[in-house]
Amino acid sequence: MTKIKSMCCFQPVSQPLLSSIALLLFRLIIGTAFVFHGWGKIQNPFNWAGAESHIPGFFQFLAALSEFGGGIAWVLGLLTQGASLGIFCTMAVAVHMHLIVRHDPFVNLTGGMSYEPALVYLGISVLFLALGPGKFSLDNQIFKKCE
């Protein structure tokens, strides 16, 4: 019984129907985007940033896994909060790299690099951490019986 109770942390927050539909659409759209973002990285997970990168291979692997695997998890609505935490950490590092290290603007009006996309994705990860995946998710199907 203790094992099942520990899994209840994945039980989604109860949402009205319209909110669950909105969360589903968000999960499908943004999750698919993350699968595409992570696809190239997961092909070479320990060195996707290139030989000149100062990012250790283990952290490159975690970023590749959080983007590709987290995107799949969001699409399915499976272990959504765990995936959201991984994506949150990855996007926090991305915001830091663009804002602090590279001094990119929030929005680059000439089409160059900016920290806007990473910050938006970070915000979306906070949304899923707080609200969960909604009714139309595997989390809801698997963990709805937690007491």
Q: What percent of the chain has pLDDT over 70?
A: 90
Residue 78 belongs to a domain: yes
* Residue 54: predicted pLDDT: 87
Residue 1 belongs to a domain: no
How confident is the prediction for the chain on average, in pLDDT? 91
* Residue 39: predicted pLDDT: 97
* Cβ-count burial 87-109 (b if 16+ within 10 Å, e if not): bbbbbebbbeebbeeeebeeeee
Q: What is the pTM of this model?
A: 0.88
The total number of structural domains in the chain stands at 1
Residue 4 belongs to a domain: no
Residue-range definition of the domain harbouring residue 54: 10-143
Q: What are 42-95's pLDDT values in tens digits?
A: 999 999 999 888 889 999 999 999 999 999 999 999 999 999 999 999 999 999
Residue 41 belongs to a domain: yes
Residue 5 belongs to a domain: no
3-state secondary structure of 64: helix
